[in-house]
Structure 1
Amino acid sequence: MPITLTVPEGLLSPQAQAEAFSGLADAILEVSGLTGNAFMTANIVGSINVLPKEHVLAGGKVVAAAFVELKLPEIALATPEAKSAFIEKATDIVEKAAGGRLKREHIWSNIVYAPEGAWGIAGRSYDNASLIEAIAGTGVPL
């Protein structure tokens, strides 16, 4: 379940970047009720994009901002409450990591869903049913 955290250079130290990413991963597991699930934990992946300051903009102007994008299969975080809980937690995590160098209103998050059958892990395409089986541990090996 890829996470992309994008920040301008200098906003987060390398340690703060790692802590923020770890916190985002934990937030996905917590909100989805899957903390401790080996399949899900192993498949929360992602990247941290650190861009030159002049490449991060809001309202057409350079600004200290952070963007969190979460990509999931259709079945994940499907309720409005789960989406809202993740976005709130993600904002809190990034705001804390920035240590006062980032306004809360300059943290944007979005959740993008892959269509049915378009989720791939280790060269295998998963539909919703096979992904649920894998998460439940009923026979879909990685």
Structure 2
Amino acid sequence: MGITIHQNVTFNHLPEILSLGYDYIVLDMGVLNQYTLPEFWRNDIHFVLGHSYPTKGPYYHNFINFIFSSFRGENLNKKHLKELKIRRNISFLDNLGLKDNAKNFYKQYQVSLDIVPFIQNPFQLTSNEWRFFQALLKDFSI
């Protein structure tokens, strides 16, 4: 599988990149806000990356609420979160998180997080790193 990196991409470049016929396209939306949400929802699979550290957890939860309210127009609850994850192919990730922090985040907010491991070289994945991505993608239908 080849990887092509397009540096300094703006929304003006998207039509050109989308027309290149790639099987998969990863878009780093930077900071998700009301201007980038339409492009975020247009994609097939959604990964939301944040931190479960005790000091950052409330901000991540507010961010998840922002995403959810843009989809449903209402506040997050456990039933709707499950629907969102299934119908919209969305997964919430904990960047370099610790298991205990992710567990505490779940206890406090009822949102499960997949912990992203440290990846030293994204262009040469180890077998463990590759297994992480396979496990992450197994539940998604595209």
What TM-score, normalized by structure 1, do the two folds share? Answer: 0.27
Instruction: Kindly indicate whether structure 1 or structure 2 has the higher relative contact order, using CA contacts under 8 Å at least 6 residues apart.
Output: 1
Question: TM-score if structure 2 supplies the norm length?
Answer: 0.27
* Between structures 1 and 2, the one with greater strand share: 1
